[in-house]
Structure 1
Amino acid sequence: MSRPMKMIRPAIRLLPGVAGRSEAFEITVDPLRSLGAVRTMSKVLTEQNLNPNVLKLEYAVRGPLVIRAAEIQKEIDQGASKPFKRVIRANVGDAHAMGQRPVTYFRQVIACVVLPELIEKGGYPEDVKQRATEILNAMGGKSCGAYTMSHGIELIRKRVAGYIERRDGHKANWQDICLSAGASNAIKNVLQLFIKCIDGKPTSVMIPIPQYPLYSASLAEFGLSPCRYFLNEETNWGLDISELERARDEGMKSSMVRALVIINPGNPTGQVLTRENIESIIKFAHAHKLFIFADEVYQDNVYAEGSKFFSFKKVLTEMGEPYVKEIELASFMSVSKGYMGECGLRGGWMELVNMDPVVQANLYKAISAMLCPTTLGQTAVDCVAKPPQQGEPSYDLYIKEKTAVLDSLKNRAKMIVETFNKMDGFTCNVVQGAMYAFPQFKLPPKAVEAAKAAKKTPDGYYAFKLLEETGICIIPGSGFGQRPGTYHFRTTILPQPAMLQEMLDIFQNFHKKFTAEYS
């Protein structure tokens, strides 16, 4: 028999620290694994030398609450005992994750583009097969696995231009349309153009409060300054020009305010701007020479009686000169929202209006470094930009599915507002559009003190208690911005009707219990 190997304990010796670095250790390991010594040095990247902009970046929609929600769901899946049977993710606008069914036509076209043999063998309608063939013919090697032009397939860009022309009644130039991996990438691509100090001042971008955290996160990432303007909760989250003037005046004291972000329909607030309001915003931007970011990804999601979506492009065009020739605008659309809900496919576009040709060429150059948006996302964009037309085989089912989704969302928007407005200490504005409600609620002083002791914001404390005790995941208003002294949260209207009713019932019981506990 062979003799047992003698185990050698590794010797550990503390090495002197180096200025600005953590201490290192010298470890002598098993000689059979290494004949020499292995030295584990400090990390090249540490919190101390990390890009400070990344450290400042916060994105509430994917923050600590959402991480904890995922952990809780894993615990449930592994048999842990909880006072609830599942996590209800009311935190993010992900329609399919909340049970919405994909539009059949879109998925059939995508299936044929991914697996072209289905064009002949799949038994799909003729218009599906024709559309897939057209898209494949526009791809390199007739394969969705090939790169496309960095700003998207020309055929699809032209169809987006056609969509915009039908929507607005005015011509759109396909060469001013750039396809993207969702609207978020396009927004960040344009924001990057503003990374420059002017007259010794950092650039500032006007963003609404409350706002979608993409903007605050991206501004932090790029080292740009936020110039915050408040929406008016008392007028259903209206946008007052006097507030824009106040915010700009304040921002100009320490920065150069160069751009204005408008989210219409609103996220997280669900308001829909009137045409008159849009006209006044355009006049404000023109007077102060501001570039407009028009985030219009919820343009299909308008529910309230009397509300109607107007694109910024349409309004400025119809305002005539000087606006039609002088306002610089980038508008954004996505297949992630609307009735489509195709978040994971990452398809979107932007239209550029009156951008300096040299700037636009440099924007396209910068975009080319990212190679191209996903071809499946571009395929989904094509289906949105040119959906089935009346008389085509897929039309009836397409209209039925689209109408069912939007009608259901309209009903859920009413359901959620009515429920919150019945709860003690709650006020919730009408959800005119988009996919969210942003109710305000009162917190007992003892709850505020408990939040301070736990080193959480009061609305964050409430949201964590809600998650741990009920499994409902919402996002506190502090993640979006809110007036000091007020507390809100954002919830989606996306849970399917039965689940939404269950969620609201649980929510009401929790709030009664929470209020009694901290009274």
Structure 2
Amino acid sequence: MSMRGNFTSVRQIKSAVGEFREFLSNTQRKGLAGTLKYRNMAGAAPSLTLDNMNPNIKALEYAVRGPLVIRAGEIEKELEKGVNKPFKEVLKANIGDCHAMGQQPITFIREVLALVSLPKLLDDPRFPEDAKERARTILKGCRGHSVGSYTDSPGIEVIRKHVAEYIERRDGHPSDWQNVFISAGASDSIKNVLKLLICPVNGKPPGGLIPIPQYPLYSATFAEFGINQIGYYLDESRNWGLDIAELQRAITEARKVCNPRALVVINPGNPTGSVLSRENIEEVIKFAYKEKLFLLADEVYQDNVYAEGCKFHSFKKVLVEMGEPYSSMELASFMSCSKGYMGECGLRGGYAEVINMDPEVKKMYMKAMSAMLCPTVLGQACLDTVVKPPQPGEPSYERFIKEKQGVLDDLKLRAKMVADTFNSMEGFSCNTVQGAMYAFPRITLPPKAIEQAKKEGKHADVFYAFELLENTGICIVPGSGFGQQPGTYHFRTTILPQTEKLKAMLAKFEEFQASFMKKYS
């Protein structure tokens, strides 16, 4: 190597060292955001940085899978490595993931899924004939008779027709299958409808009313789409009832800064576990009509009603039975395979029924869905087994009914167990879990705990949840992630752990609560 070459190499090394020092300086001074602005060692500057990326994504938060869940995952890995903890496992009571909590799949659903996935099993005598017939019907609706092929963007026609028949049986009123749009879970359906509302009017951004507390899908999606979140508080003193005067307050204040376009109602409630009465639903429909709002009815827990005197009423049924002018209102209602007695969260099957939509808007809605190609076909097959389950006299009927009712009976038992246990504990009050899969108890935190939370820069309920996780392995979601009245503290926990595990979890909770109150009182 020449002397000149050596000098060039030295200069390059010095230059690289200088750049690395500057890199470290940027990292220490500005953190990760600073390093993202800095060109890499090859000299190429990133075209996408925190400064020029979509600001709506930066604003998006999803509490159900937030920092607590990340920490819970870290603790699981620590336990695997043999780190000593005052518990042996992490209990993820933060999310409505039925099968992850030990719920067993419904046999008929899995038999049909097996058959459509591997059609040669249609010759296997171990499978009942009604499951085989269902699989043949679904495969006939698929191009090439394979679930590996694309389907029509709104879903397989025969399954859409089965969904419409299900809605007709449920409500006692006609349903047009061409108003049914299958999706990869209800979340996709909800987002597909909300996309239509993203349009400023007179210089004001669109807005949507959502219940507080709410399911964070809505606040996250509103942030992502640039839709103003208009929160209306549910009334905890009336078992999380929906108050029309509160709706009016929320929309009146919101009109100063945005253009309200839609009203979201979650029934049965998530995270509250409440079930709306028919009278309350009628009031909501009248309010939406008066204020010219597009109604979105999140009804994914319609099979999950436990409390005596409570009954699920679909918004579609009530709206139709109210007659004109209400029966001509725009309504999108949503259902999912992820909840109910099925709990098939990972298969991603759901639908929207959209009625009274302007025909020209409906064309645009269809166009937007076609850009996504089609929903997952196994999710569609799962949905078909839910909306058209085995009927009396068919080979799978007895076992199906036994499994379905067993799941719902267990959930009803656990719903009461959770509410009763929390109400027996110092510092807690919990409304009856009328439906859905969650309890949303209120905590009275000692002043010292609130002060300690401030010192750590956390919401008081977040501080409580982290203390609970680190001491018991129980992972919950703080109420601040769903929204709550200022000055109040809550958390959401599922009722999904199997009965014996739930009893053990609640016993740990009682022990922790007693020590927490003693420590900070």
For the superposition of Structure 1 and Structure 2, which TM-score range results when normalised by the shorter chain?
A: over 0.9
- 1:329 Cα deviation from its structure 2 partner: 0.4
Residues 14, 23 of structure 1: 8 Å contact kept? no
Equivalence map 1:32-431=2 (5 Å): 39-121=42-124, 123-325=126-328, 327-431=329-433
Deviation digits for residues 422-469 of structure 1, max 9, x if unmatched? 011110000000000000011111111111111111000000110011
Residues 39, 46 of structure 2: 8 Å contact kept? no
What is the CA–CA distance in structure 2 between the aligned matches of 1:497 and 1:373, rounded to whole Å? 35
Deviation digits for residues 289-334 of structure 1, max 9, x if unmatched? 0000000000000000000000000001000111112x11000000
- 1:43 Cα deviation from its structure 2 partner: 2.4
TM-score, normalisation: structure 1: 0.94
SS for the counterpart of 1:491 is strand
Deviation digits for residues 338-376 of structure 1, max 9, x if unmatched? 000000000000000101011111111101111111000
User: Which residue number in structure 1 is paired with residue 495 of structure 2?
Assistant: 493
RMSD: 1.6
User: Which residue number in structure 1 is paired with residue 478 of structure 2?
Assistant: 476
What is the CA–CA distance in structure 1 between the aligned matches of 2:282 and 2:259, rounded to whole Å? 24
What is the CA–CA distance in structure 2 between the aligned matches of 1:89 and 1:365, rounded to whole Å? 39
SS for the counterpart of 1:194 is coil
- 1:46 Cα deviation from its structure 2 partner: 1.8
Distance 1:253-1:132 versus aligned 2 partners, 3 A rule: same
User: Which residue number in structure 1 is paired with residue 31 of structure 2?
Assistant: none
What is the CA–CA distance in structure 2 between the aligned matches of 1:507 and 1:122, rounded to whole Å? 49
- Count matched residues: 499
What is the CA–CA distance in structure 1 between the aligned matches of 2:46 and 2:256, rounded to whole Å? 40
User: Which residue number in structure 1 is paired with residue 458 of structure 2?
Assistant: 456
SS for the counterpart of 1:261 is strand
What is the CA–CA distance in structure 2 between the aligned matches of 1:232 and 1:353, rounded to whole Å? 30
- 1:45 Cα deviation from its structure 2 partner: 1.9
SS for the counterpart of 1:488 is strand
What is the CA–CA distance in structure 2 between the aligned matches of 1:372 and 1:76, rounded to whole Å? 41
What is the CA–CA distance in structure 2 between the aligned matches of 1:494 and 1:341, rounded to whole Å? 10
Q: Which has the higher helix share?
A: 2
What is the CA–CA distance in structure 2 between the aligned matches of 1:14 and 1:52, rounded to whole Å? 33
Question: Which consecutive aligned stretches of 4+ in structure 1 deviate over 3 angstroms post-superposition?
Answer: 13-18, 20-26
What is the CA–CA distance in structure 2 between the aligned matches of 1:275 and 1:25, rounded to whole Å? 61
Between stretches 78-87 and 304-313, larger displacement belongs to: 78-87
Between stretches 68-77 and 498-507, larger displacement belongs to: 68-77
Query: Which ranges of structure 2 fall in alignment gaps of 5 or more residues?
Result: 1-5, 27-33
SS for the counterpart of 1:257 is strand
What is the CA–CA distance in structure 2 between the aligned matches of 1:352 and 1:23, rounded to whole Å? 48
What is the CA–CA distance in structure 1 between the aligned matches of 2:453 and 2:125, rounded to whole Å? 58
Query: Which ranges of structure 1 fall in alignment gaps of 5 or more residues?
Result: 1-5, 27-38
SS for the counterpart of 2:196 is helix
SS for the counterpart of 1:172 is coil
Distance 1:23-1:217 versus aligned 2 partners, 3 A rule: closer
Residues 208, 261 of structure 1: 8 Å contact kept? yes
What is the CA–CA distance in structure 1 between the aligned matches of 2:301 and 2:37, rounded to whole Å? 49
SS for the counterpart of 2:489 is coil
What is the CA–CA distance in structure 1 between the aligned matches of 2:165 and 2:70, rounded to whole Å? 41
